[in-house]
Amino acid sequence: MYQEFYKLNAYPFRLSPDPSFVCMTEQHREALSGLIYSVCTRPGLSVLIGEAGTGKTTMLYTLVGLLERRQYLTAMCTNPTLSRDEFYEFLLVKFGINCASPSKTRQLIALEDGLKRQRAQGRLAVLIMDEGQRLPADLLEEVRLLLNVETPQEKLLEIVLAGQPELGDTLRRPEMRQLKQRVGCVCTLRPLNPEEIGEYINHRLKHAGRSEASMFSEDSIEMVYAYSRGIPRLINTLADTALRTGFALRSPSITPFIVTEAAHELELTRLTPPDQMPAQNEVVASLDAKLRESALAESPVGSNPLEGAVPLESYASRQQSLGFFSQWIGRWK
């Protein structure tokens, strides 16, 4: 297809969550550093929140790759529809623990004993659960109970829960207050701004073998932003379609016209003309406000103090406290 024409050795905008293609913008470095920090300090439960298509799954696979290279035990669950029995079977298989009994009690004992043995050998266990907004209440309760698997000094199982902003709505429910109280870290992924989109597109093209200057002009990147709203999944789909369209037209560069044609093929609607786009800080502020309202806000406090929700730590505050830690990511690669 267009690979040879554009001098590429791979398709740069595939939708698979390939960690080798991850573009570490500032916000991605902050989110990843927050997750690594949590794994190291082991508060028990960490949360990663982002709109659909913002790259949560890719971020999780990147984290798994970093942890496995440092001999961590990892189990990544991408199926939120498991039953309780299937969930415990999944945990035992992923952590390499044998238990022939179908009894939940015996499975829990086997799991705890197995994690203790692994910890004695210097191996820490991490459970990563994607699509958290779709987890049923009974499975979230099992997650909460797993946080009780611990020694007097530390948690034996660190859990990372990732999902869309609806996950925050779930955690704000009064019946979920015990789970919410155990959240030690919240990281957020937001849509990319035009500058980040340019960095993102160029990074993926370079990783796919493009040694020359990017064929996407600044005007084309602004058009990608207008149609994708900065959502990486849509950026990938739109950029891939634009490359196919450019190849069909034998165009050496991707022009705004080509991006528009690709967007029409995908039936994407334009956010607003580039010259009428709001200032980027306004876009970010608007999104942050939405995330805080839908995912990170406090639940109303009732007459019983225990019914008051424990507020989740905001991404903005974590940026300041974790800025230093993002410099350590290179040591994990």
Angle between helices 256-265 and 232-248 (to 10 degrees): 110
The pLDDT score that the predictor gives to residue 309 is 34
Q: Reduce the secondary structure of 81-126 to three states and give it as a string.
A: CCCHHHHHHHHHHHCCCCCCCCCHHHHHHHHHHHHHHHHHCCCCEE
Which residue type is seen at 157?
L
Strand partners, 76: 128
Query: Based on the number of CB atoms within 10 Å of its own CB, is 41 exposed (0-12), middle (13-18) or buried (19 or more)?
Result: middle
The pLDDT score that the predictor gives to residue 6 is 87
Measure the CA–CA gap between 249 and 244, rounded to whole angstroms.
Answer: 9
Residue spans of beta strands (DSSP E) within 125-244: 125-129, 157-163, 183-189
- Tokens in use for 76? 């990544």
The pLDDT score that the predictor gives to residue 321 is 44
Rounded (5°) CA angle 242-247-253: 70
Which residue, chain included where needed, has tokens 């149609």?
Answer: 227
Q: What is the DSSP letter of 50?
A: E
pTM over 0.75: yes
Per-residue pLDDT of the chain (333 residues; tens, 9 = 90+): 788 888 898 999 998 888 888 888 889 999 999 999 999 888 889 999 999 999 999 999 999 999 999 889 999 999 999 999 999 999 999 999 998 888 889 999 999 999 999 999 989 999 999 999 999 999 999 999 999 998 888 899 999 999 999 999 999 999 999 999 999 889 999 999 999 999 999 999 999 988 777 789 999 999 999 999 999 999 999 999 999 999 999 999 999 999 999 999 999 998 755 444 444 445 444 444 544 444 344 433 333 322 333 344 443 444 444 444 445 455 555
Query: Based on the number of CB atoms within 10 Å of its own CB, is 128 exposed (0-12), middle (13-18) or buried (19 or more)?
Result: buried
The pLDDT score that the predictor gives to residue 273 is 54
Q: In sequence order, what are the residues at sequence separation of 6 or more whose Cβ sits closer than 8 angstroms to the Cβ of residue 156? A: 112, 115, 116, 119, 125, 149, 150
Contact predicate 256/220, CB 8 Å: yes
- Tokens in use for 287? 């999104």
